[in-house]
Amino acid sequence: MAGKDYCALAERIVEQVGGADNITKVLHCATRLRFNLRDMAKADKDALKAIDGVLGVVDANAQLQVVIGPDVDRVYDAVLAGTGLEGAGEVDENLDAPKERLTPKGVGMAILDGLSGTMGPAIPAIVACAFFKMITSLLGPDFLNLLPADSDLMKLFTFVGDAAFYFFPCVVGYTAAVKFNVTPVLGIVMGAILIHPTFVAMATEGTPFTVFGIPCNVQNYSSTIIPVILSVWVMGYIERFLNAKMPSSIRGVFAPAITILVMLPISLCVLGPAGAFLGGYLVGGLLALQNVIGPLGIAIIAGLYPILVMTGMHMVLIVTLFQVFATQGYDGFGGPALVFASFSVMGVAIGAMLRIKNKEQKALAAEYAITAILAGTSEPTIYGICTRYKRPFIGLIAGGFTGGLVAGILGVVSASLVPSSNVVCALAFAGGTQFNLIAGWGCAILSAVVAAAVTYFTGFDSDSEAFDVE
């Protein structure tokens, strides 16, 4: 979108979502403007899709998401400047508006929205630490043997690489608190309580324990996700209730303490064990599925993963992967599939860039390719190329499926958890055997090449706008 008038684009978007008065809150992620609207019926989705600079429109859990691409932050700033709204801030809602009916679909979308809003901001911490784990894997005695196991540098990179994984409940406690409108530091404290050394020691030794006389199923929640997400979610209701009922003169002192006090039996005796059980159920289900469909499983997940991204279902898989790695330390199913799916996205963008003749669309495809390779953002390619021209979806699925199938036959596993979708995700294969690393990288490249080739040769109609060179 270089050279585009962001203010004009923002003005057109605001007009088609029903005007500034119809917006209660606006924020953005890596590629999308996210609008909370008073009346969703006032938004003209077809008109939004027709705007030059809008890649797509997604209606997710009563939130209208306008896909912009890597320039979303500039359009977002223009929206704020043009409407006078506060970015991601609370605004007055129409309290008289009827509440949405509670339906299974609504509950499912709310769960996905909670997982996405919680896990998305936490991923950079994992990627950063995974980089150090990769260094120890490559330079350590098991591979290149350039760093002795007892060297200070090896020890440093080892505990830095493990930090985010071990203290992940604290990281997720913070991001969940931001998502569920809880005081962020209380979310961190909730995570710290779950992994306190005393509590972990009791879990290791099997020491009986009660919370205010209530029997507690003591467990080690290090590296877990679901227990702290559930705890922070419930804690939000308690904190808001106390803040509403307590006089302002004592609220700042007593509300946080009482919030934690009330949460102790709820979290340690109910939500923690329930979350751990649910996490174990997800892991068991994924491993059982792997045993049933074998090598074909990686191919299926890699081929369909972009569809999961479009529906938001990919966060369920990512959450499950965290549980799998916490359980067995590696994954030979969903983890490799994510890598091949990511490289397939890169391949589609490259194939489209090489094939498209229209200069403007060709430049956009090049921008999407760079964004996918370096930033790991797949939405521009999915919405700007695959959804727009339809046929590139074939290349997208074929690339991931092919790389996943070969990897499944060769027994490739993700030795490290790298929840990233840029080129760095291939580091997931480091930490195992040399064969695993070479085979994993080879299958990743194969995914990109197949996706690019299929997109180049079959991805466009001869009369497509992609070949309009005017």
List alpha helices for 411-433, DSSP H: none
Q: Please tell me the distance from the alpha carbon of residue 79 to that of residue 76, in angstroms, as a whole number.
A: 5
The DSSP-derived string for 22-57 is GEEEEEE-SSEEEEEES-GGG--HHHHHTSTT--EE
Contact 422, 376 (CB under 8 A): yes
Axis crossing angle, helix 168-179 with helix 226-245, rounded to the nearest 10:
50
Any idea which residue has 């499950």 for tokens? 320
Structure tokens at 25: 């809150």
Contact 51, 58 (CB under 8 A): no
List alpha helices for 221-271, DSSP H: 226-245, 248-265
Q: Please tell me the distance from the alpha carbon of residue 74 to that of residue 31, in angstroms, as a whole number.
A: 11
Q: Looking at 7, 29, 129, 443, which residue is catalytic?
A: 29
From the CB of residue 270, how many other CB atoms can be counted at a distance below 10 Å? Answer: 17
CB under 8 Å to 398, separation ≥6 — which residues? 303, 344, 450, 451, 454
What SS3 state is found at 64? strand
Q: Please tell me the distance from the alpha carbon of residue 362 to that of residue 359, in angstroms, as a whole number.
A: 5
Contact 13, 79 (CB under 8 A): yes
Task: State yes or no: is 29 an active-site residue.
Answer: yes
Active-site residue numbers? Answer: 29
